Amino acid sequence: MSYRHNSYTHKVEYETNNVNLDEIDFIQIRYTDILGRFLARYIQTDDEVDLDDFFIRGVGVDGSSVKGFANIDESDMLLIPDKLTLRIVAPELYLSHLSANLKIATVIADVYRGFGLGRSMRDPRYVSQYIEEYLAQNNLVCQVGPEVECFIFDEILFQKDAEGKNNHQKTEVISGEQYGVGKYPIRRKGGYDAPPFQDSLLEFRFEVAKILKKNYSIKVTNLNHEVASCGQIEINFIHSTLTKTADRVQIYKDVIRNIAKQNNKIANFMPKPIFEDDDNSNVTNSGDNGSGMHVSISLWNNNNNNNNNNEYSNSKNIFYDDSDVYAQLSQTGRYFIGGVLNHASSLAAIVAPTINSYQRIVPGFEAPVYIAWARANRSAVVRIPVNEKNNFKSKRIEFRAPDPSSNPYLAFSAIVSAGFDGMKKKIDPGDPVNENIYKMSDSKRKGLGIKSLPHSLSESLQALKSDSNYLRLCFPPEILETYFTIKQDEINEAENHNSKALQFRLYYDV
């Protein structure tokens, strides 16, 4: 595998994305580890700092201190900034009133090995950039639209048990929307589009949307209270290309977390933070809805497109076919679905990558459980939205298995790889299922050939080990091997005591 990175050989223009670096005090360099953590380091800008050199050569980083990046004997790495991502940070994100006059620029970096050894094969951003390069060679461009849900809690309480053992501690979340806590509580599963008098996070969402637009040029399309009580929200933004959208997910999560911190709250992206503690099973039938990250995908012929404005007036959405009476979905789109369904069990290890993810994937909470497809059917893992008719721009495939604990660079790339495998092999997805699969009898589901997603991280990881060839399109062996190791360590840690408290300790900051 090789990816042609565009080197910066020309003099850096300081007026980039309306950022005048001469007026900046500090530059924040962001990068993402294998698990999806959006890490940050900083440099100070002054007369002794050569900014031209910084944008060309980057800044050093100890790769052995970043989980999964490098061994201690190969730890010297570089962060090379992508200056197209350069933006001014909203001071209220990180600074108190005492230092709010400081000016900070932020930029997302690609990770390189030191000593001129090229791109790091364990950089998640490399994976998404590589598949975009592959699609471009096939005259295609991918548009991605994630729906990232999360909870905004007032507090997460960790309490040790009577013996003082951390691994048996009790965990409790506190929200102003809970009965017995708030003045205007919301019933469980009753939060969807909550009216303003009950919606405790209306101003919060407005503030997040304002910062995303002003500081990051991210246009929010809708911002609503989600189904669960206890402060579940969803803020969507306009679809864009694969790597750019993954960047935006990282920025979005960062903005939400820091605005929550400034408001003395906690943003939590665990797939299922509200569930009944059950040490004997990974499956629960109680609690409230979890947080998903439904991902919409469309593929376009890359003819004179304008990525900055997401306009494709001279391009063709290859998933759209106005002659198809069922969902105006092309045969190519069906093959794409066939690939996603065929690899759904192994995909789960990447798009639902935590032990806690499988608390979410259970019947009764609007989460996907069954490997099937249909139009407008939210009980299937793949849905074809049909809100609009005769609109080629809106034709897309929605994959409902992903959750916000996943690394967006890896998740989006894996979905496209699976779909592309279906296109190449012409994998038939079978007939659509046009009824509520949750209410079907087991015998009927079996008769229709409808299988379930894995019931645990261990099952999905085993599926990935036996079904990963389709990922060779963009996943270097090094990143998959490291991913297996990290995830197996999580499974081993939870093997003897997989409690709710342990899941919070592992994943409260995913």
Cα–Cα distance, 83 to 76 (Å, whole number): 22
Which residue is catalytic, options 25, 62, 276, 431? 62
* Residues ≥6 apart with Cβ < 8 Å to 257: 267
Cα–Cα distance, 177 to 471 (Å, whole number): 42
Active site (annotated) includes residue 147: yes
Which residue is catalytic, options 82, 110, 123, 149? 149
Active site (annotated) includes residue 497: no
Active site (annotated) includes residue 400: yes
Let me know if 406 is exposed, middle or buried by CB neighbors in 10 A (0-12, 13-18, 19+): buried
Which residue is catalytic, options 110, 207, 226, 403? 226
Active site (annotated) includes residue 378: yes
Which residue is catalytic, options 5, 168, 188, 378? 378
Active site (annotated) includes residue 234: yes
Which residue is catalytic, options 398, 403, 421, 490? 398
* Residues ≥6 apart with Cβ < 8 Å to 328: 320, 321, 322, 386, 389, 390, 395
Enumerate the β-bridge partners of residue 61: 77
Which residue is catalytic, options 122, 205, 294, 360? 294
Which residue is catalytic, options 82, 239, 400, 421? 400
- Closest C-alpha among 457, 455, 509 to residue 483: 457
* Residues ≥6 apart with Cβ < 8 Å to 343: 418, 421, 467, 470
Active site (annotated) includes residue 490: no
Enumerate the β-bridge partners of residue 148: 235, 293
- Closest C-alpha among 199, 214, 4 to residue 93: 214
Cα–Cα distance, 446 to 440 (Å, whole number): 10
Structure letter (DSSP) for residue 361: S
Let me know if 131 is exposed, middle or buried by CB neighbors in 10 A (0-12, 13-18, 19+): buried
Active site (annotated) includes residue 226: yes
* Residues ≥6 apart with Cβ < 8 Å to 139: 301, 302, 303
Task: Say how many C-beta atoms besides its own lie within 10 A of residue 497's C-beta.
Answer: 12
Which residue is catalytic, options 147, 207, 403, 421? 147
Write out the catalytic residue numbers. 62, 147, 149, 226, 234, 294, 378, 398, 400
